[in-house]
A and B are shown apart, each in its own frame.
Chain A
Amino acid sequence: MIKRVSVFLCVAILSTFLLSTQSSAQKVRGVTDTEILIGQWGPQTGPAAPWGAVARGTDLLVKIINEEGGIHGRKFKYFLRDDSYQPAKTKAIAKEFVEQIGVFAVVGGVGVACGMTARDYLMENKVPWCGPVTGVYEWITPIQKYLFAIYPLYDDEAFNLTGYLHEKLGYKKIAMFYQNDDYGKQGVMGVERYLLKKKISLVAKVSAEVTDRDLSTHALKLKNSGAEAVIMWTMPTHAALILAETAKIGFKPQWATSNTLSDSALMMQITKGLWAGMINSFFGELPDSNHPLMVKYREWHKKLAPQERWGVFYYAGIIFAEPFFEGVRRAGRNLTPETWISAMETLKNWQGIGPPISYSKPNHPMDRQGGKHVFYGKVKPDGNIQRLTDWMQITK
């Protein structure tokens, strides 16, 4: 009798064990019958806080999709965490996402250094990551199966912008003003790569530290270089400071800059109008664009988040999330990281309000670089943009 009972118990325990492992193997982290959990970090406080709007813009898109009924019967639950632009915090947030919340994927994420502390951890845990909010090589080299970059590469963007200034507008004396970190340096890389090809060199290369607040010397150096055009790769504060300082000493070159400074409403305001005349590259539709998606988003924005300013950083949060949701849509009801990746790899020149996005099976780094296009515009004195070109491919 005892023997039979114990055998029965053993079988029972064994079978529950087997069954449970079987069912947990089927379970996908962050996906239930009704919900999909996703997360994003972003600086809501600290010096980089203006970029914190990105993560809040993503929140708007999540709300819109949920309002429209979700995707394949599942709604999204979005976790936004403030890392204050401090990499140590970002890493802790990534751990929280995976180990405590258990998200299906990470979307967006501002900051090179911040993202770098989380990259390897997310990849080891096979967490899909769509659209880090910086255009550096770190996201695609070495190539990562679970990481899909969107942001056009700064290097190629700068290369192309320099070409535009040189070939289309005929400037020969070009100077560079940049932020002395990964972001600024990849801008310099592209500018110099282009100029090297043309066998000319920068007439001045002036850098500022992130914390600098006095750029008078920087302005003098630029002026003394005699540059006709200056390309800047900085954050908004420095852009405003350098324009004021150069204006003070009567230096008025043609300025050109990256799409990181394409929030012209903000820039016009903080430069007291000096921003007019800027040649700017853009990676997304203009704020007042008639693109049907833009019209739709703006309406939802008014309804769901009227307290937010409809600025470029804010709706960039939509741009970096759109392809993720398209991937979820294409993956169908059976959503796993693997099905999502296969679905993402079917995107070919797919376009929301950002650049056309294409991915392929990961053989070459560029197979994971989704955005390869920008367009140029010139800031008009009223702050609106005069579009100079159509979408142009900058990354081959």
Chain B
Amino acid sequence: MATDGILKVKNIETLYGLIMAIRGVSLEVQEGQIVCILGANGAGKTTILKTIMGLLEDQPDKGTIEFMGKRIDGKDAEEIVHLGISYVPEGREVFPELSVEENLKMGAYTRKDPKGVKEDYNRVISHFPILAERKSQWAGTLSGGEQQMLAIGRALMARPKLLMLDEPSLGLSPILVHEIFRIIKTINGEGTTILLVEQNAKMALKISDYGFVLENGRIVAANTPKILLEDEDVKEFYLGIRSEESVKGYQRWKRKKRWR
């Protein structure tokens, strides 16, 4: 792996009280790439993103996080946003009783350049024309897909260098999922580095440059999509393709043996 990554996470451990949710994760994101983290429910994907974002008090407990060559672990969210990371949380988390426009305005909260903000507003509208139509409607009244678009648009309003998306496909119809992934790709094409967390491995790997597989708070595989797509376990557990007949217990045992 090259060493000039925009984001470098080294050996972090994150605790919820006494429970260790992230157990020594290292990962790196290269500038301009789309990198995805795959993993089942409860694997710790969201926790990684929240740790990077500085949303968990006093975390990571161990390890370091570097963004553009600067240590950001231990900094608070407001500084991290300012440095250029935006986060689209799992489940959209729009402000339900703010209008669409006000939601977008909040995305640019830390910025002090009205002109740039205006440009970015137009850029967001060009990606998501529907948001312009719904401009003065309460965000809580939008459909799920529209809320996801709003959440992404809102994150873009900070003009991030790194955009982190937490399961953007969750609960959306297949057509909308395609649409969202297409837009993610476009945004990446315009120069924003993307760290994507997904359970929908097939879609995620399709647009990614690199992928990590997370299980129980540990990275168990890391490679290019092409190789990951060939991996028997990825196939079985994330793509739903069962390999040759085998006893389930044996499979599980084998996997454990290989990955831990």
Q: Do chains A and B touch in the complex (CB under 8 A)?
A: no
A residues with a Cβ closer than 8 A to B are none
